[in-house]
Homo-oligomer: A and B are copies of this chain.
Amino acid sequence: MSFAIPFADRLNNVETSAIRELFKLLGKPGIISFAGGFPDSAMFDVEGIREAANAALNEEPGAALQYGATEGYLPLREQLAAFMASKGAAEVAPEQLIVTTGSQQALDLLGKTLISPGDKVIVEGPTFLATIQCFKLYGAELISAPVDGNGVRTGELERLIEQHKPKFVYLIPTFGNPSGAMLSLERRQKVLEMAVRHDTLIVEDDPYGDLYFGDAPPPSLLALSATVPGSRDRLVHCGSLSKVLSPGLRVGWMVGPADLLAKATMCKQFSDAHTSTFAQATAAQYLKAGRMPATLARVRQVYAARAEAMVQALRSELGDAIDFVPPQGGLFVWARLTGADGRVADGAELARRAIDRGVAFVPGAPFFAADPDHATLRLSFATADEDRIREGIARLAQAL
């Protein structure tokens, strides 16, 4: 009677993540977690979202609850275009973006639209874990480009583009997950120039760009593309409300060349028909109500203080056992164990010891598509308050 499900071959391309196993341990009472990749629920503007949802149901109940266009709900596309314009990308018309079910779906649609089995894609090493798995499911062979404190190293990147002629290059230029690094203005310029020079599509994933602590980061590749002729035709930009407003709405968007958006829309039609119109109408009302600037200011302030607390605690508690570049935005400190004085130099080993001491983080090796650096680790400062952060880092020092 037993029956073996005949799974598709593509499932052989991905393995269950080691991180999943770690997350099972997070339920232990008293654990201080730096492991998550999500914003702090306590900072959601619940009242603003409630008002927006009610406005959507009052003003446009039919549209908010009915099937909608696969490209997205037009009033939201208009608000998102205005939101991007407020951040320097002034030339994006509402028709030049499509709404996606979180920016995760933008990655999925890029995979479906662009990747044939065996195609090469260049990503940063390290990069977002779900990007690696998403592209691998479509059969991509991933090439890893090294990063430093200023983001991807453009000389190396260009060499890899020449060598591998990838379908596209996927970057998180601003406060990347997990690296937290910020690509310098000079390197941004170079990336756009090499896109044109080598006829290579660049994907800019930008969920964290609004979460800066001091000065605003350099313009996004999208904003900067206006100054590099031809680069806009070779650029895809993915945005998201998940880190700044609410992940639960699942509202992201994708800007790109018209023919790419047309194919991605066709693929989306057969993926989920469209993103929840209720969530889209709610997001549109929220943006229209003008609440976003105050929300962003509040979120930046809280995360900046938490980042500072973590940086200070790491320096005073761990000293030369750890090496990192203080983040200028985002949710993460990306660090490297030095092994100084014979202390633990393996992230996975430290993660196991840390759990026993009551603190959790994610080892860095799984974030590499190739050649993992086992000494790395990712610490999120987003969800614990400053006292808990200091306590958690003290526990980490004990584990070390």
Contacts and interface: CB of A to CB of B under 8 A. Distances in A.
B114 A7 contact: yes
Given A1-B230, A57-B49, A274-B250, A112 B137 contact: yes
Counting every copy of the chain, the complex holds 2
A119 B8 CA distance: 9
A207 to B, nearest CB: 12
A46 B57 contact: yes
Nearest to A256: B5
Interface residues of A, number: 81
A267 B137 contact: yes
Interface in A98-125: 101-102, 104-105, 107-108, 112-116, 119
Of A46, A138, A248, which is in contact with the most chain B CB atoms at under 10 Å from its CB?
A248
A42 B63 CA distance: 11
Contacts of A267: 11, 137
B104 A271 contact: yes
A300 B15 CA distance: 46
Interface in A47-63: 49-50, 53-54, 57, 61-63
B269 A250 contact: no
Given A16-B266, A116-B9, A278 B249 contact: yes
A145 B371 CA distance: 50
Nearest to A108: B271
A63 B260 CA distance: 35
Given A279-B278, A279-B279, A112 B270 contact: no
A41 interface: yes
A61 B229 CA distance: 46
A78 interface: no
17 contacts: A3-B199, A6-B167, A7-B113, A8-B115, A11-B266, A41-B63, A44-B61, A46-B57, A46-B65, A50-B57, A65-B249, A101-B101, A130-B273, A133-B269, A137-B267, A247-B273, A248-B278
Interface of A: 1-3, 5-11, 14, 16, 38-39, 41-42, 44, 46, 49-50, 53-54, 57, 61-68, 101-102, 104-105, 107-108, 112-116, 119, 130, 133-134, 137-138, 167, 196, 199, 201, 229-230, 233-234, 242, 246-250, 257, 259-260, 263, 266-267, 269-279, 281-282
Given A44-B65, A104-B270, 17 more contacts: A1-B229, A3-B230, A5-B257, A8-B113, A8-B115, A11-B113, A14-B270, A38-B67, A54-B54, A64-B248, A66-B248, A105-B271, A112-B137, A133-B270, A250-B275, A250-B276, A279-B279
